[in-house]
């Protein structure tokens, strides 16, 4: 699984876990490892599949539990692209990708990350957030932007 040999992402999150009162275990480390290695949005089962060959003792249940914690801690984001299963992705961190938004193909289900226009979008979002926060007294701490349509491949057929 290409463990970082010493300074993997486990190191990075050890503190985060402990700080929140959680214990660090093999399974949790494995989940973080897989997530930081991956460049796609993984489902719980995807993660299970990658971990299983290496640590057959770790069950799907624990993975769900770990993902839940990670979402609450803020280390990962949980997405729903409308395919009946949640997908998870590391929050932008030291090794994290840049903040991005999504293009979701309604034909084949493919999800494209894009960072183009992100700056303008984020600038507008910030302004919008301020306005909305004030008007509705709503403390905003996250946003979701997705475009739906047909991808290149689906357009041709």
Chain residues binding a copy of itself by CB under 8 A are: 78, 80, 82, 103, 105, 112, 114, 116-117, 120-121, 124, 127-129, 131-132, 135-152, 155
Tokens 């463990």 appear where?
Answer: 3
Rg (CA), the chain: 18
Q: Choose, by CB under 7 A, the member of 4, 38, 43, 73 that binds DNA.
A: 43
Residues 49-108 interacting with DNA (rule: CB under 7 A) = 57-62, 64-66, 68, 84-86
Residue 120's binding partner, choosing from DNA, a copy of itself, none, with beta-carbon cut-off 5 to 8 A by kind? a copy of itself
Please check whether residue 98 is in contact with residue 118, taking contact to mean a CB–CB distance below 8 angstroms.
yes
Whether 143 and 124 have beta carbons less than 8 Å apart is answered as no
Pairing of strands 111-114, 101-105: antiparallel
Residue with tokens 């991808």: 151
Binding at 18: pick from DNA, a copy of itself, none (beta carbon under 5-8 Å per type): DNA
Q: Cβ 33 to a copy of itself, closest distance in Å?
A: 26
Largest CA distance in the chain: 52
Chain residues binding DNA by CB under 7 A are 18, 22-28, 43-45, 57-62, 64-66, 68, 84-86
């Amino acid at each position: 699984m290409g463990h970082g040999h010493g300074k993997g992402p486990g190191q990075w999150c050890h503190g985060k876990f402990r700080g929140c009162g959680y214990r660090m275990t093999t399974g949790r480390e494995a989940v973080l490892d897989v997530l930081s290695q991956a460049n796609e949005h993984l489902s719980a089962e995807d993660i299970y599949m990658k971990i299983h060959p290496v640590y057959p003792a770790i069950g799907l249940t624990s993975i769900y539990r770990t993902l839940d914690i990670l979402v609450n801690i803020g280390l990962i984001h949980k997405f729903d692209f409308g395919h009946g299963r949640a997908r998870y992705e590391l929050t932008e961190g030291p090794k994290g990708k840049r903040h991005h938004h999504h293009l979701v193909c309604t034909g084949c289900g493919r999800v494209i990350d894009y960072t183009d226009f992100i700056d303008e979008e984020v600038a507008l979002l910030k302004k919008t957030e301020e306005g909305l926060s004030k008007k509705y007294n709503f403390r905003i701490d996250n946003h979701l932007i997705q475009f739906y349509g047909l991808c290149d491949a689906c357009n041709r057929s």
